[in-house]
Amino acid sequence: MIKFYKLILLVSLIIVGCKTKEIGNNKIRQSINNFNMNIFNEEGKKLVLITSPYSSFDKDKNSFFLNDTTINIFKDNKIDYIINSDKSKLTNNKLLELNGNVLVNTLVQEGDRLYANSFLWNMQNSEYLLVGNVKFENNSIILSSNKAILNKADNIIEFFNPVKYKIKNSKNESGYEINSENAYYNIDTKSLKFKSKEARVRSKIYF
């Protein structure tokens, strides 16, 4: 697995309106309003900004539980991806789990959108795992499967079989076609590639 960045060394956390409350078995969970966390790399460049209007912190698990989460992922101090979800969990300031109406917007190509039920990212790696009703859509194509991996290092999305795809025409009248092989979409070049289990290329499409 390709390394995303070196191990995160600096975390900046701004919390407004904190309070604690007891939950079961004498555990203490801290409630946080207007959660706002910046994560930087060792060179001081911003990697991630996480915001939530309401969240809580479990000290025993070293985990934040967030509602209505917005994640901004940066490259060269500029926003590269924006991710929204109903709920999320951040563990040890490096393992990020998002659940419910996950939407990934990329600023690499305006209009590209990636949907899923859940999203998992270990910040030490470059790969984002998306599971459940995964769908990628832009002005040219719709791709859907139950599982996909977005590799941030090369901006390629791998969709695992079975894959449904739809090539849009000017009237958006094209129907779905079924392909049982994995599909690879390159966000930078807007190209789509299909491979068999033996890694033979069956087709390659540019949009």
pLDDT of residue 4: 40
Tokens read off for 96: 């990020």
Statement: the pTM of the whole predicted model exceeds 0.75: yes
Domains of the chain: 10-206 (2.60.450.10)
Nearest to 150 by CA among 134, 179, 126, 123: 126
Interatomic CA distance for residues 4 and 2, integer angstroms: 6
Nearest to 96 by CA among 76, 73, 75: 73
Q: Which residues of the chain have pLDDT under 50?
A: 1-26, 201, 207
pLDDT of residue 170: 58
pLDDT of residue 192: 86
Contacts within 8 Å (CB) and 24+ apart, 150-154:
150/104, 150/114, 151/2, 151/126, 151/127, 152/4, 152/73, 152/80, 152/81, 152/126, 152/127, 152/128, 153/2, 153/4, 153/126, 154/186, 154/188
Q: What are phi and psi of 199, to 5 degrees?
A: 70, 20
